[in-house]
Structure 1
């Protein structure tokens, strides 16, 4: 089914789309099954089969009714009102869909609002200062990299995956794919411990590297990895006047169904770059547009979004991966090589999934762009950090993926929860894959020291 993802570019029949948009998922599934019983073109058959997976996933992504969402906000934010939630819903700042005609909010709506709305964060009943400490930690790194020209850190991590009790089937064969560090700006990679013993691992330069487990599941079993690596980044300050006349054309292609030069993407790219010819300046214009106009927002599962970059361009919101993919798509659309990187952001204050981008300009080679970190800095008035994350990256990452939408080695038997990226791992039984809500993941920073 991984190869079938390209068929997401096929439009749904109107009657199915009407039912889906109104939240009548049962009705939409019934019409899909009726269509699949008929002699229909292969492209439509594949699209409808994918839509069944999307509907199964999306239903679990929006658990909060309006009343439940309001209570969560009022329990945590001082003097929060019903009118405020309505305004956040209508301005598309609180992600929602219709389910059987009722408004239902995304499971991450609260975290997204508190992260992106400084006015709401200021009204929290219980404030956590860790974000401020993490921000200062990154600010200090920027100044250190500028002063010394680079930064290098030894990092040791432990990660785990555990199937939730309600999804456990003790004695059944369980297969788990967990992310591992790849060779890139990372070196001296050592896999120190696996529990239980892994069956195999993909090569250290594989585009989406994983450790693969296959075992009979025990009650309460945990799958864990412990590894270490060295992350080394140099500071870049590329001069537009030194850009070479001849530029490469690799990594400028479309990649169905997401990295596509749709009519709107073409129009937007042309409007952003205008008559500019210098690729470094064009890339900066794209970065500026995204960081200044696309609001950071937690997202539902990527597998439920038909065209991720266009979603960001149309709705002007998205998380780190959505913003990164829009940057990549716009760069490629105007002839600038661009590609994906992702894995974890790792600091003493937090460890969690993160995505960003790379773009290529001669004679500087591959440079970094992190629109979500840059956008957050721009909103807070931190111009130094905003400028840093165009061309640069901090060393506090664990890079597991160097390509978007790449198959595992060995491949997963069933469609992945995230067919495009892998930051948290994937699980499956012999007869079905597990959904993200059926297993938990965790990260522990064991050691981090400057070299």
Structure 2
């Protein structure tokens, strides 16, 4: 299944593309099935089979009609007007598509606007009153790591998933993959307990590591894994003048279908880099471009986006993973080794999925880049934090994935909700996948201790 993803680079036939863009999804599937019943090239067959899966996912990602979206904004934002929503739509700040020829807004459009538009947040009718404790926590850590030149923490977590009652098929075999820590800047990793007992736990250095369960589903059954690990990071106080003349060329290639050097990516890279030849300064130029120009935005499922880095480059918006992939792709195109890391961002105030990048410059070795955290810092006019997230990383992460688009061990049989990453887990029955909307996940921080 993972190997088939490369066929996303194949363009859709014009008639099918027309129907998809207008949101006539039933007709699109009909036209796809007509093509699949004919003698067509293997690559086109694979592309059309993938498109059927994409359409099934994307249909559920945009539930709000224009009037429903307007009502949600008016119910929550003081004196909000229809003209404002039209402007947000035209500026591509409120994510929308056409379904049956009519505008529909993404299910996370409201949360995305509140997160990224301080003017709208200030007009909220019901404010939570919560202070930015997480932001202050990270600010204090940045000061601490810079002062002590390192950071070491013990983190103890529990992750749980459960099939929703309406999708639970009691007594049938269910297969569950829950992400767990890998060996990287993390060490002393311990899987303390799994409930029920895990069928298999992938090796500690596996690039997309999971605890795997295969059991008959019981009523109200939860699947959980409790683990602890240590994170050890040194502060990278980099000097652009110390960059070596000789640089490696590993992790500089394309990786279809997303890390691809398209004509637009090539032109954008040239525009960003200009005549610069120092790889550390080149990476910084790419980081600065993304953090200054690509607006943070909640995203629909990654499985519905044909080319994620180009999406970010064309639309100038995207969440943490979209921004990280654009950084990786641009770095690789100009010859800077770059790769993926992802898992969870973990603080006492919030636990949630997060993605970022690594890049390599000799003699410093692997460095970190977190464009979304860096961009958020820049929007808050915190230049110290903005600079920190180029080459450094806070220690409050759980890294479960060191490679993008990697198979599980054992592999998942059916389509993954996110075939590129794994942060919340994946589930399937013996005859079909369990879609993301059919199960719920939660995280519990048991201990976070400075070492």
Please give the range of the TM-score, normalised by the shorter of the 2 chains.
Answer: over 0.9
Q: Name the structure 2 match of 1:193.
A: 193
Tell me the distance in 1 between the aligned counterparts of 2:348 and 2:126: 21
Q: Name the structure 2 match of 1:204.
A: 204
Residue 292 of structure 1: how far off its partner (Å):
0.1
Tell me the distance in 1 between the aligned counterparts of 2:21 and 2:406: 30
For the 8 Å contact 1:139–1:385, the answer to whether it is kept is yes
Q: Name the structure 2 match of 1:55.
A: 55
1:160 aligns with 2:160: yes
Residue 217 of structure 1: how far off its partner (Å):
0.7
Query: SS of the residue aligned with 1:203?
Result: coil
CA-to-aligned-CA distance 1:361-389 (integer Å, 9 cap, x gap): 00000000000000011111110000000
Tell me the distance in 1 between the aligned counterparts of 2:131 and 2:367: 27
Query: SS of the residue aligned with 1:4?
Result: helix
**Which 4+ residue blocks in structure 1 deviate beyond 4 angstroms?**
none
Q: Mind listing any 5+ residue stretches in structure 1 that lack a counterpart?
A: none
Q: Mind listing any 5+ residue stretches in structure 2 that lack a counterpart?
A: none
Q: RMSD of the alignment, in Å?
A: 0.8
Q: Name the structure 2 match of 1:334.
A: 334
Q: Name the structure 2 match of 1:424.
A: 424
- Residues paired across the two proteins, number: 451
Change (3 A) 1:131 1:185: farther
Q: Name the structure 2 match of 1:23.
A: 23
> TM-score, length-normalised on structure 1?
0.99
CA-to-aligned-CA distance 1:23-79 (integer Å, 9 cap, x gap): 000000000000000000000000000000000000011111111111222222222
Tell me the distance in 2 between the aligned counterparts of 1:363 and 1:122: 46
Tell me the distance in 1 between the aligned counterparts of 2:370 and 2:131: 18
Query: SS of the residue aligned with 2:416?
Result: coil
More displaced stretch, 129-138 vs 95-104? 129-138
Tell me the distance in 2 between the aligned counterparts of 1:110 and 1:285: 32
Tell me the distance in 1 between the aligned counterparts of 2:188 and 2:56: 41
> TM-score, length-normalised on structure 2?
0.99
Tell me the distance in 2 between the aligned counterparts of 1:201 and 1:384: 40
Residue 434 of structure 1: how far off its partner (Å):
1.1
Change (3 A) 1:131 1:332: farther
Tell me the distance in 2 between the aligned counterparts of 1:94 and 1:128: 22
Tell me the distance in 1 between the aligned counterparts of 2:166 and 2:72: 25
Q: Name the structure 2 match of 1:265.
A: 265
Tell me the distance in 2 between the aligned counterparts of 1:436 and 1:298: 16
Query: SS of the residue aligned with 1:136?
Result: helix
Q: Name the structure 1 match of 2:182.
A: 182
Q: Name the structure 2 match of 1:122.
A: 122
